[in-house]
């Protein structure tokens, strides 16, 4: 068994910074152009599925946004279709990557930074599955949408449970981490079960009544707890790392936003499960979940808003040293979960506060997505994002 020591640090030369920092000089750009077209697959990694997550969450958030206006649902459907197309393309490219560059593909599972992002593919699957149920049903019918969602949710849940167990196990047995190593990416492997809980809730009404429906509800609740406790432990380590060691390297600052993911998604999951609980549980137990959705959801939402403020402040502080890399997609999906969490709280309370925040955060989400998507396309075409210098 091999053991490696890893640290993130604030040094721009740290392994974490190197894992994502693209080359920027004119010479490096010129070298990148000399690569063969097929070499673009060399740069493909699990973190690219964050593109699907960050795009799909816009569609899902828009579908349930408290403020609905003409054209919003149509635009959301187009975004869902774009995200679904990206999922298909990336999945095919990743298979080709494994066949053409198996050594590089296997190395991602051994890299202490990149292996964290094996949580992205299962979350991408479930994000598109939910969008199919919420928006795709308008185009393909509810029966087909439910069937597709079941397939994507089941595959995403299985892969997510594997990542939630396998990646921490690999961290424990294969690597030795310094005190400043914790970063937002450590949450990626343990968040998928929370996404399973939030998205699986919408499948409960489409599950046969009785034991099957109850089983799915309790499975979602169990995954909610699995992910929540692991996330809270990890967030504590990230908070401690920031206080004791300061900001991460400039190339990793965007990962601070990932903390918003389990916070917003847990609020969403609690609310969604409480909404569908009456279809699967006796009235008393269902009422208990409804109370829990508020007693848990509102305080957690409050902490999410605190972290959002810190994330914005940290990003603004480091803005001049932050060159674009794929961690910027951390600005999107985690923020989107805060939109859906605020929307769920509004649905359960009727408090206008949550509706206003949901709409404001949605506007911020769309702005962040436009910037990050634009930079991704630009660097994929003209930079070294797909043709890194070897």
Strand, coil or helix: what is 208?
coil
Residue 311 and residue 257 in contact, taking contact as beta carbons nearer than 8 Å: yes
Residue 42 confidence (pLDDT) above 70: yes
Domain total for the chain? 1
Q: How far apart are CA 44 and CA 114, in angstroms?
A: 11
Percentage of the chain lying above the pLDDT 90 cut = 83
14 part of a folded domain = no
* Predicted model pTM: 0.90
160 part of a folded domain = yes
Q: How far apart are CA 114 and CA 177, in angstroms?
A: 15
Residue 384 confidence (pLDDT) above 90: no
Nearest residue to 337 (alpha-carbon basis) of 286, 264, 287: 264
Nearest residue to 297 (alpha-carbon basis) of 240, 239, 233, 351: 351
Nearest residue to 347 (alpha-carbon basis) of 131, 147, 136, 201: 201
21 part of a folded domain = no
Strand, coil or helix: what is 176?
strand
Nearest residue to 151 (alpha-carbon basis) of 163, 159, 140: 159
123 part of a folded domain = yes
Say which residues have a Cβ less than 8 Å from residue 70's Cβ, sequence separation at least 6: none
Length of the chain: 390
Task: Give the model confidence (pLDDT) of 139-151 as tens digits.
Answer: 999 999 999 999 9
102 part of a folded domain = yes
Q: What values do phi and psi take at 112, rounded to 5?
A: -65, -15
Residue 5 confidence (pLDDT) above 50: no
Domain span holding position 90: 29-382
20 part of a folded domain = no
371 part of a folded domain = yes
193 part of a folded domain = yes
| Residue 226: CATH number of its domain | 1.50.10.150
């Amino acid at each position: 068994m091999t053991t490696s020591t890893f640290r993130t640090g604030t040094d721009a030369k740290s392994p974490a910074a190197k894992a994502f920092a693209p080359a920027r000089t004119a010479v490096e750009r010129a070298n990148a152009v000399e690569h063969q077209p097929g070499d673009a697959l060399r740069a493909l990694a699990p973190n690219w599925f964050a593109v699907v997550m960050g795009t799909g969450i816009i569609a899902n958030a828009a579908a349930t946004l408290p403020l609905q206006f003409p054209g919003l649902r149509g635009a959301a459907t187009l975004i869902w279709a774009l995200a679904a197309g990206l999922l298909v393309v990336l999945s095919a490219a990743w298979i080709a990557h494994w066949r053409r560059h198996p050594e590089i593909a296997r190395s991602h599972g051994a890299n202490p930074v990149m292996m964290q992002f094996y949580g992205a593919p299962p979350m991408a699957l479930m994000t598109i599955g939910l969008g199919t149920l919420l928006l795709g049903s308008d185009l393909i019918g509810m029966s087909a949408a439910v069937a597709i969602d079941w397939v994507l949710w089941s595959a995403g849940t299985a892969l997510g449970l594997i990542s939630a167990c396998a990646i921490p196990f690999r961290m424990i047995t294969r690597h030795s981490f310094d005190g400043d190593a914790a970063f937002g990416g450590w949450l990626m492997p343990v968040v998928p079960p929370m996404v399973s809980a939030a998205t699986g809730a919408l499948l409960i009404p489409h599950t046969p009544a009785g034991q099957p429906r109850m089983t799915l509800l309790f499975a979602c609740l169990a995954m909610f707890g699995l992910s929540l406790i692991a996330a809270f432990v990890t967030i504590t380590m990230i908070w401690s790392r920031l206080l004791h060691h300061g900001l991460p390297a400039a190339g990793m600052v965007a990962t601070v936003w990932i903390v918003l993911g389990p916070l917003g998604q847990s609020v969403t999951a609690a609310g969604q499960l409480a909404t569908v609980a009456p279809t699967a549980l006796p009235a008393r137990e269902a009422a208990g979940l409804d109370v829990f959705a508020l007693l848990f959801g509102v305080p957690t939402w409050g902490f999410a808003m605190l972290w959002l403020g810190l994330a914005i402040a940290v990003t603004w502080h480091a803005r001049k040293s932050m060159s674009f890399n794929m961690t910027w997609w951390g600005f999107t999906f985690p923020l989107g979960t805060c939109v859906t969490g605020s929307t769920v709280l509004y649905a359960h309370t009727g408090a206008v506060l949550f509706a206003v925040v949901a709409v404001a955060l949605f506007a911020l989400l769309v702005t962040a997505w436009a910037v990050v998507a634009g930079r991704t396309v630009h660097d994929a075409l003209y930079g070294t994002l797909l043709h890194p210098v070897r």
